Structure 1
């Protein structure tokens, strides 16, 4: 196995536009695969015709004991602390990485949830582009060194890196499909257009021209099975009891039986 990591849109475009070979493509936003791979990207041919949503996650902020406000921050006052002068916040690029635009969607939801229409603007004033990277994990060392105070990141990363995090309400952290209708009211402005909020569901597919398609199917089956779900849970993710398949009729038969149809 030769894994490559990066922002989901950026990595997908390496397959769709740059024609780099890949056996499995996994993304942190399920909509990336149908948007760029099902229909073809930038005039290219389609590179996949199915996808499987296999785990969930949540947006949070991580911090250290050295972070400004670390002693007083909690799930109720976090937005006040993050808006204070001098606080430095890191985040990923919303043009290239799902956690980047999901952070913007979460803040848009927070405007409404806390009835603070300027909340998002005040927090983002402390998260300038100089504090932005292609992926949020690139900023963990900056957080540990005290160069930034807080980092917008997935709950799974907080668990894996043993970092303190803020337990944001499910109404805004994009973790719970039952709030999907509310999440959809949130927007993120990106170079790829306006993106509406949705539950955080990670998805994967096997490209139509995968060099090792049989091995790829075995890997996906492992991820969807009991052993794979245990790994998912141990690393702070939310495994799906019944993975959802988009275009389920086109999923390879051995994988199809492990899934249910994607909810309409």
Structure 2
């Protein structure tokens, strides 16, 4: 009683908990933007408003809020995450390599990070 045979979660969650996991093929794991059009073929409808939600790649993001009390520390953290050591750390925890893009107001990106985007 109280045991689970299987659970759907992100790979990094299983790794963080030391649990065994299987990796789904790229064609269905929502992790490869190359398959965006294929992912869209799957969908579900929200009961409340009948809105249709199509499959799409899952992305994790990083940002520095306007209200950051330690802007220098926040910039240092993002620089670390984008560095070779930071990327290796993320990958060791089951996260995909970082794909640098910028969304939102690019003019608000701190100067020390602009060269990375």
- TM-score tier, shorter chain, comes to 0.7 to 0.9
1-structure distance, mates of 2:111, 2:54:
33
The SS at the match of 1:151 is: coil
1-structure distance, mates of 2:66, 2:53:
27
Q: Which residue of 2 aligns with 1:186?
A: 42
Q: Which residue of 2 aligns with 1:257?
A: 115
What are the residue-to-residue correspondences of 1:220-239 with 2, within 5 Å?
A: 220-239=78-97
Does structure 1 residue 165 correspond to structure 2 residue 21? yes
The SS at the match of 1:244 is: coil
The SS at the match of 1:195 is: strand
The offset of 1:207, in angstroms, is 1.4
Task: Report how many residues are paired.
Answer: 114
2-structure distance, mates of 1:189, 1:211:
41
Give deviations 1:80-123, integer Å, cap 9, x for gaps.
Answer: xxxxxxxxxxxxxxxxxxxxxxxxxxxxxxxxxxxxxxxxxxxx
The change in CA–CA distance for 1:204 and 1:188 in structure 2 (over 3 A counts) is: farther
The offset of 1:149, in angstroms, is 2.1
Give me the TM-score of the superposition, normalised by structure 1: 0.39
Q: Which residue of 1 aligns with 2:64?
A: 206
Give me the TM-score of the superposition, normalised by structure 2: 0.80
2-structure distance, mates of 1:254, 1:188:
42
1-structure distance, mates of 2:39, 2:5:
27
The offset of 1:178, in angstroms, is 0.6
1-structure distance, mates of 2:69, 2:45:
36
The SS at the match of 2:24 is: coil
Structure 1, unaligned runs of 5 or more: 1-141, 260-264
1-structure distance, mates of 2:13, 2:31:
14
Does structure 1 residue 154 correspond to structure 2 residue 10? yes
The offset of 1:171, in angstroms, is 1.0
What are the residue-to-residue correspondences of 1:69-80 with 2, within 5 Å?
A: none
Does structure 1 residue 243 correspond to structure 2 residue 111? no
Q: Which residue of 1 aligns with 2:77?
A: 219
Q: Which has the higher strand share?
A: 1
> What is the aligned-residue RMSD (CA, Å)?
2.3
2-structure distance, mates of 1:189, 1:228:
38
Of structures 1 and 2, the one scoring higher in RCO (CA 8 A, sep 6+) is 1
